[in-house]
């Protein structure tokens, strides 16, 4: 029996998480992180998704996405994980599950809650003891924003985006 389709209205931002099967490491070397980020970037272009923050950890990932159309998030996730698993199996000559199962997603309500979720995602490597400062973890939006220079963070402007997330 097929899984039920998840509803994901466009007026919300979503904190999205998935973990390696059995908590196994998914990203073994820099090429693995880079490949996933390339696939994620293509997925966001393909599904016109606004990506507000992301962090790839050795055995899991987090990101905060703001879809433009209803139910684009489940479509993006299906495309992203399918492409990534194919690449992973081809590269490591494996088969079977890479991810523990379906991704988890939680609505990140606007305002202070959304800001807290963005910080949580970007500070994940600090909490894990991998780096002292979030911007030092190369596989995160914190590092990307720091690389672009202070004040250059490209979170969508609510006016140019045409709306604001629900709860803002």
Which CATH number characterizes residue 18's domain?
3.30.70.1290
pLDDT bin (cut points 50, 70, 90) of residue 53 is very high
Instruction: Answer whether residue 124 is part of any domain.
Output: yes
User: What is the C-alpha to C-alpha distance for residues 74 and 80, in angstroms, rounded to an integer?
Assistant: 10
pLDDT bin (cut points 50, 70, 90) of residue 106 is very high
Instruction: Answer whether residue 155 is part of any domain.
Output: yes
Instruction: Answer whether residue 156 is part of any domain.
Output: yes
What's the Cα-to-Cα distance from 164 to each of 45, 106, 154, 157, rounded to whole Å?
20, 17, 15, 9
pLDDT for residue 5 is more than 80: no
- In the chain, the number of structural domains is 1
| Contact criterion met (CB below 8 Å) for 20 and 59 | yes
pLDDT for residue 19 is more than 90: yes
Question: Domain range for residue 25?
Answer: 13-161
pLDDT bin (cut points 50, 70, 90) of residue 75 is very high
Q: Which residues pair with 57 in a beta bridge?
A: 60
Please give the average per-residue pLDDT across 73-87, as a whole number. Answer: 89
Instruction: Answer whether residue 6 is part of any domain.
Output: no
Please give the average per-residue pLDDT across 42-50, as a whole number. Answer: 91
Instruction: Answer whether residue 132 is part of any domain.
Output: yes
Please state the pTM of the whole predicted model: 0.83
pLDDT for residue 161 is more than 60: no
Instruction: Answer whether residue 125 is part of any domain.
Output: yes
pLDDT for residue 2 is more than 80: no
Please give the average per-residue pLDDT across 144-149, as a whole number. Answer: 78
Instruction: Answer whether residue 30 is part of any domain.
Output: yes
Instruction: Answer whether residue 130 is part of any domain.
Output: yes
Please give the average per-residue pLDDT across 148-159, as a whole number. Answer: 47
- Sheet of 104-108: strand order equals 50-57, 60-66, 13-19, 104-108
């Amino acid at each position: 029996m097929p899984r039920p389709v998840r509803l994901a209205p466009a007026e919300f931002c979503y904190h999205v998480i998935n973990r390696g099967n059995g908590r196994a490491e998914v990203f073994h070397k820099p090429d693995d992180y880079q490949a996933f980020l390339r696939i994620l970037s293509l997925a966001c272009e393909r599904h016109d998704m606004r990506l507000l923050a992301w962090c790839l950890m050795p055995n899991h990932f987090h990101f905060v996405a703001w879809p433009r159309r209803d139910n684009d998030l489940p479509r993006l996730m299906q495309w992203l994980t399918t492409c990534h698993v194919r690449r992973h199996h081809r590269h490591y000559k494996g088969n079977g599950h890479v991810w523990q199962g379906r991704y988890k997603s939680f609505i990140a309500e606007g305002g202070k809650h959304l800001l807290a979720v963005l910080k949580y995602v970007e500070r994940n490597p600090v909490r894990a003891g991998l780096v002292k400062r979030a911007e030092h973890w190369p596989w995160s939006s914190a590092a990307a924003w720091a690389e672009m220079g202070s004040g250059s963070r490209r979170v969508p402007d609510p006016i140019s985006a045409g709306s604001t997330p629900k709860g803002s």
